[in-house]
Structure 1
């Protein structure tokens, strides 16, 4: 059932089961793209207000699995060669110690340690979209590392995290639906590899063909060209695991291309 929010009122906080998201986080210049920032803002406004946000970003690979700071610490400006103002962006979201405790309980097991890195701030895969979606920075945020790029293992992590959705937690996998920096285009030209992979991925998702998605490097057209390294597609599998019982509810909230890359972003639930 769709909940209609009265005009001028924010969506109810943590009402019912939260959706699970996979979004394209772009790069620091995303803030200069009025279309994309508007799409992210509108998306967030249509969601129930989260009690907390769990981010899984393409830009944090750490094993054993790790949790970021649970207090407000400086951001991680994990990029180089950009104008100075991109390094002056702030996002002082509250830490999420209660969420961290829940994640530890769900994921920690014999042979599967969970480590804490108390000075690790949010990287640009986390804060760039959050600045647009929740600009007041008033929702607790925790970032979770990817301990592997194996899609099956990441789906299993997502499955274990799924109960958090019933506690008002918004689980967000943040990557890019295609990601090959050699195909970046300043004039917006889209290489056929990117458009073909985007179309294949859309159809595989609509068909709920998880086996094909798990084996995308072999089964997708030019999968290894669309993703020479798979870290930007990998967060999708955490989202798929967290939403496995609701794959039929999926929808592409954002599609199209930015600088030649697919910015397809998905909501489940």
Structure 2
């Protein structure tokens, strides 16, 4: 099997399912991918240290949001678990000196299942979610490098966040895209094209409106797992933005390596 791509996607929120365009973009993206043996996903919505492996069998989803209409809480995504993948990760990371824990009743959160519902609607691909044990970009990058050999085994590695994310600031602007979101998106796009990893590591200080686009960095952090998984295969130069534009003022840029 050829090496599976590594992805970073902006995952949206539960109302993504009602957007007239974005679900189709995600579906078209997945249709162009090789069919994975399993999906390994890191979401902005699960921080846990030491690094944790979620459920390895089908368990209820984590509806980790509040104030939405009831039908969003009825969504199911009964993808099979990936116990063999979990065991590979335990051995790989522990050998590299990274502690690993198991949380077997932890289901997929909305950063995982919202995009997967659109990309793999039949829920026939095994899925394993792991936590982010830190928000340090360099440490997440190294974790991505250690996980990269899984791509040779048909595992699709996905970092799931949002390319810009400041919900509080959005409340203070009118319609359209705020300047801070557009400026950061443009900077991030150019940094990725230039393979400027050092600038990306220090995005909070080097990007225009870096701290405004990401006052807390959990939605940008999954990108570094993806970058590590890509760099281990020498593919940083082959990255491309598959989805761009804005959704409710936030940059939905999503990228593929390989």
**Which TM-score band applies after superposition, normalised by the shorter structure?**
over 0.9
- The offset of 1:140, in angstroms, is 0.3
Contact 1:152-1:237 within 8 A present in 2 as well: yes
Q: What pairs with 1:143-222 in structure 2 (closer than 5 Å)?
A: 143-184=129-170, 188-222=175-209
Q: What pairs with 1:1-269 in structure 2 (closer than 5 Å)?
A: 15-109=1-95, 112-184=98-170, 188-244=175-231, 245-269=234-258
Contact 1:155-1:241 within 8 A present in 2 as well: yes
Contact 1:188-1:258 within 8 A present in 2 as well: no
- The offset of 1:111, in angstroms, is 5.3
- The offset of 1:256, in angstroms, is 0.2
- The offset of 1:188, in angstroms, is 4.8
Query: 2:154 & 2:123 partners in 1: Cα distance?
Result: 17
Query: 1:86 & 1:175 partners in 2: Cα distance?
Result: 19
- The offset of 1:184, in angstroms, is 3.2
Q: Deviations over 1:95-117 (max 9, x none)?
A: 00010011111111475310000
Give the secondary structure class of the aligned counterpart of 2:131. Answer: strand
Contact 1:204-1:210 within 8 A present in 2 as well: yes
Q: Deviations over 1:138-188 (max 9, x none)?
A: 000000100000000000000000000000000000000000002437975
Tell me how many residue pairs correspond in the alignment: 255
Structure 2: tracts of 5 or more residues without a match:
none
Query: 1:235 & 1:176 partners in 2: Cα distance?
Result: 9
Query: 2:128 & 2:96 partners in 1: Cα distance?
Result: 23
Give the secondary structure class of the aligned counterpart of 1:34. Answer: coil
Contact 1:183-1:260 within 8 A present in 2 as well: no
TM-score calculated relative to the size of structure 1:
0.93
- Structure 1 pair 184–48 and aligned structure 2 pair: CA distance change class (3 A): same
- The offset of 1:44, in angstroms, is 0.3
TM-score calculated relative to the size of structure 2:
0.97
Query: 1:128 & 1:212 partners in 2: Cα distance?
Result: 30
- The offset of 1:39, in angstroms, is 0.1
Query: 1:55 & 1:110 partners in 2: Cα distance?
Result: 20
Query: 1:180 & 1:110 partners in 2: Cα distance?
Result: 35
Alignment RMSD:
1.2
Structure 1: tracts of 5 or more residues without a match:
1-14
